[in-house]
Structure 1
Amino acid sequence: MLSAFINRFQSLSSERKQLLVHTGLAGIFRVLSASAAFFLSVAVARILGPTESGYFFLGLGLATMLGTLCLLGLDNALLRFIGHAYAEKDMDTTNHVFSYAYLSAVPVSFATGIAVYLATPWLAQSVFDKPDVAPTLRCFALAIPFITLYLLNGYALQAARKVIAAVCSMQLGVTVLTLPVLLMLPNDDATADTAALIYLVGSAITVIVGLGLWLRMPQHRFDVRPRAMPELWFSLPSLWLISATGQALPWASIVVVGLFSSTEDIALFSAAQRTSLLISFMLMVVNFVVAPRFSALYHSGKIDQLRKLAQFSTRLMIFISLPILAVILLWPQTIMSLFGEQFEQAGVLLVILAIGQAINVTTGSVGFLLTMCGHEQDMRNITVLSGLFTLSLLCLLTLKMGILGAAIAVSIGVSAQNLCALYAVKRRLGFIPVG
């Protein structure tokens, strides 16, 4: 059986071999990242309890949402433009795009963090009606610029096909730094604001490590010399809207739940949502590898290879994700009980959210196919419209049905966005990834 697998692997094209090897590496480190994030959620829920963990998840959701918005669409720009430039060994473009990203993201993210810090008493009292959450929100406000920058470092490394460094520079890095310290906290210090402070320090260290990993690579440097890149400037508004609605919406859902529900409900919903992401885990792994390849193949005119890569990666994602979906559908309460007995009731939320993530996986890497192939305006329109639809539905159903309604709204929104993007890929590129 092993020899048959080896023979099968050797018969693949060099591009598919490289894809599988890089996917395997990304998978290993993404497993570590997802596992660490999952155990961090479990540790926070068990150590802090439903109320304090609700404060922590609310602050983390707000900070991550705003930190993502402060990327200004540069995440997709890095993947697209550095991904293509790196394949062509164009280091001038690589350095220029990365430097521009830092010059843009640093002032915006730090200004946002300071503004949120100053507005914390008003947010805690008037917006969330939870005065006790103020100290936690202050710590997470200061973490906003570091979240922006460690994400920026990670996307740049991803575009340069440095898979392991990219994963370590993002979620894995901050979680690995936060989790052990949190587990060693004495019981008297186990509060949401203390956990938030630990996360703040971990995110700052992660930024330094990620920047060091980028600059230590050959020919990498900051390059702030003026250079005309009209395609980049033209694309950024659309890429920002895609990032703002696509990436920030999952965290915005926690903020909406915080507006209409209790602190305990925030903890239940956040735990179920984070667990449901295990379904789309393989999608994130494959996207990590294929996104810069999509850009390189499209701009080289290799559409047939692009189609084969998209369809091969989608089949790989479905094959690995289906068993995870089956486990979640069969034992949702058991899985949620890992967070504590109070979390078993969130099993139904997990099932609803998992169905939406399953549709997300089945449609393939449709978002990256559009943005990496120059059709970011199509993806912008899809994400903005579906984002507004999801946010409206989220507010309506959460107000009427509580966190059950929030889960239904998020699942419907994810499904609608990906099905619309699937249609756009077929119309623009002439194929569908699930073919």
Structure 2
Amino acid sequence: MLREIRGGLPQEPVAVKEMPFIVKGAGVFLIGTLISSGLKYLFEFLVARRLGPSGFGVFFLGLTVFRLMEKVGPLELNQGLLRFIPIRKKEEETARVGAIISAALRVSIFFSAILSVFVFLFATPIGHGFFHVSSLGLVLKILSLSLIFSVVAEILAFSLQALGAIQYRVYFRLVLEPALGIIIVLFLFQFGPSLWAPSIALTGPFLLSSFLSFWFLKRFLPVQLIRRRAEPEEVKELLAFSWPLFSASLLSFLLYQVTPLMFGYFRSTQEVGLYAAALRTSFLLLLTLEAFNSVFAPLISDLTNRGELKKLEVLFKVITKWVFSLSLPLFLILTLFGREVLGLWGKRYQQAFLCLLILAAGQLINCATGPVGYMISMSGRPKISLANTAATLGLNIFLNLLLIPHSGVIGGAISFALSLSLVNLARLIEVWLILKIHPYRADFYKPLLAGFISFLITLELRKHFFLPGDLLRLVLGTLALGVIYSLFLIGLGIAEEEKIILVKIREKLSLR
């Protein structure tokens, strides 16, 4: 393999050109995602501790409905921007880039305005009539007022990402918004615990984020191009690509959120709060996958458009191994110290430990399949993505109906983890049938072996050496497992092509 790469066969351009770009962009996004996830986790942690499981459950239901509005508003045109802007940029059609952004903004603002008015007017019936929680109406009314600004900020941030400036999406959407939200909620909680405090804290940052995103977009495109109306054919092309993706994305969102919504209907708000704490904690495993997906998605579109499937295959394998290698230790930490993590939310949240383990197992399988979902959608097959997610959502709802009324949070966790695992298995099979590509290499066993050994050693250390106290045990255990895992993973060896990629990345960074 090493001689092949040095000899100029198709793998060399991947190692020398695309992979440093991916890692650099993913590194920026990963750092931003780590900060963002930490800030969002802290925000919900503060709300959960202040309001308790029941009050947090009410707020989380409102937040889930609002996230659904955020998903519907832009009609997934942001993903269409990730596909078409790189293509137009390669073809040096700057005017058409501006027209695409303009079309996405106009359409998304129109639909968001309609949705915002509808939810504001029917907030009370939704809260009292469907979820049987009258206080939910106030949360929905406050959040609905910020929808347009949130959607505009999202479209502009994805435009910047598609133009190669992912750092601005990181700065504004991932860091500024949650940081400002924490400051506001801490201030408002000085007046006492209330549902309106976290609801208001989420609204203000969207306005500032949308303004800053537009300001920096002007550095890449003149204002007159952003205001340029797109040709009908361009709008149709954007909608034709985005609409199936929107349906798939909406169904995928519901796959993640239908369980807490069904908890709100069948069970108590306290169980919603417990499930929400476990679900949010399990999302920590997705950090590396989301980071690499954000940069890899436009490259899938570009490489498939140019027919360079060999490059795509090498990237797919390397990225999947790296994502899994970085996600596995997080899963092991949650397995060993999940009670301590949930205990930080409050002692009452520790009863969701088994729920957390089940959800984390589903997310680990998700990470083990890599960016397989984007391999289908960004290669120009959004209808297949739609069919996959629709079938999985149907299965999830069916399992929820069977399990949630009788088994509570455990039943909901089983339903979600099983559904997520099955859809990723189906995607793997489809990618192989369509592109003749799979994400696994012969050395994929190395992180598994390193993880197994580090788990056993840390388990023994936990039994005999770690001091009592949730926080101290969590910190020491995390450090021990991280060091042991890293040493064993490095000791098992790094593949030759990965060494070349790492050398090129280091050379690229040293020149800056």
TM-score (normalizing by structure 1)? 0.93
Aligned to 2:480: none
Counterpart amino acid of 1:99? S
Kindly indicate whether residue 257 of structure 2 is the aligned counterpart of residue 254 of structure 1: no
RMSD (CA atoms)? 2.0
CA distance in 2, matches of 1:328, 1:186: 30
Counterpart amino acid of 2:117? I
Q: 2:63 aligns with which of 60, 63, 66?
A: 60
Q: 1:41 aligns with which of 28, 41, 44?
A: 44
CA distance in 1, matches of 2:440, 2:215: 39
CA distance in 2, matches of 1:203, 1:225: 26
Kindly indicate whether residue 238 of structure 2 is the aligned counterpart of residue 222 of structure 1: no
Unaligned runs of 5+ in 1: 1-10
Counterpart amino acid of 2:286? S
CA 122–370 in structure 1, closer or farther in 2 if over 3 Å, else same: same
Q: CA deviation at 1:186?
A: 4.2
Counterpart amino acid of 2:215? G
**Does structure 2 retain, via aligned residues, the 8 Å contact 1:307–1:433?**
yes
Kindly indicate whether residue 76 of structure 2 is the aligned counterpart of residue 73 of structure 1: yes
Aligned to 1:50: 53
Q: 2:124 aligns with which of 121, 124, 132?
A: 121
- Give SS of 2:146's match: helix
CA displacement, residues 69-100 of structure 1 (integer Å, 9 cap, x when unaligned): 22212132121112332344432332222111
Q: 1:144 aligns with which of 139, 144, 147?
A: 147
Q: 1:100 aligns with which of 95, 100, 103?
A: 103
CA distance in 1, matches of 2:126, 2:52: 23
Q: CA deviation at 1:14?
A: 2.4
Aligned to 1:428: 434
**Does structure 1 retain, via aligned residues, the 8 Å contact 2:124–2:136?**
no
CA displacement, residues 366-414 of structure 1 (integer Å, 9 cap, x when unaligned): 1111111111111111111112221232233212211211111111111
- Give SS of 2:380's match: coil
CA distance in 2, matches of 1:351, 1:49: 22
Aligned to 1:339: 345
- Give SS of 2:284's match: coil
**Does structure 1 retain, via aligned residues, the 8 Å contact 2:173–2:209?**
yes
- Give SS of 2:428's match: helix
Aligned to 1:373: 379
CA displacement, residues 20-79 of structure 1 (integer Å, 9 cap, x when unaligned): 222221211111111111111111111222232222211111100121022212132121
Aligned residue runs from structure 1 range 76-225, under 5 A: 76-219=79-222, 221-225=226-230
CA distance in 1, matches of 2:270, 2:196: 17
Aligned to 2:327: 321
**Does structure 2 retain, via aligned residues, the 8 Å contact 1:283–1:365?**
yes
**Does structure 2 retain, via aligned residues, the 8 Å contact 1:74–1:236?**
yes
Counterpart amino acid of 2:276? S
Q: CA deviation at 1:174?
A: 1.9
Q: 1:17 aligns with which of 16, 20, 23?
A: 20
**Does structure 2 retain, via aligned residues, the 8 Å contact 1:258–1:266?**
yes
What percentage of residue pairs aligned between the two structures are identical? 25
CA displacement, residues 156-211 of structure 1 (integer Å, 9 cap, x when unaligned): 22222222112234343321110112123344333111210121122232222223
Aligned residue runs from structure 1 range 279-358, under 5 A: 279-358=285-364
**Does structure 2 retain, via aligned residues, the 8 Å contact 1:386–1:413?**
yes
CA distance in 1, matches of 2:254, 2:214: 23
- Give SS of 1:139's match: helix
- Give SS of 1:131's match: coil
CA displacement, residues 261-297 of structure 1 (integer Å, 9 cap, x when unaligned): 2111111111111110111111000001111111111
CA distance in 2, matches of 1:346, 1:151: 33
CA distance in 1, matches of 2:281, 2:120: 30
CA distance in 1, matches of 2:411, 2:146: 30
CA distance in 1, matches of 2:344, 2:249: 32
**Does structure 2 retain, via aligned residues, the 8 Å contact 1:64–1:248?**
no
CA distance in 2, matches of 1:156, 1:139: 28
Structure with larger Rg: 2
Counterpart amino acid of 1:287? N
Counterpart amino acid of 2:137? A
Counterpart amino acid of 2:56? S
TM-score (normalizing by structure 2)? 0.79
Counterpart amino acid of 1:167? V
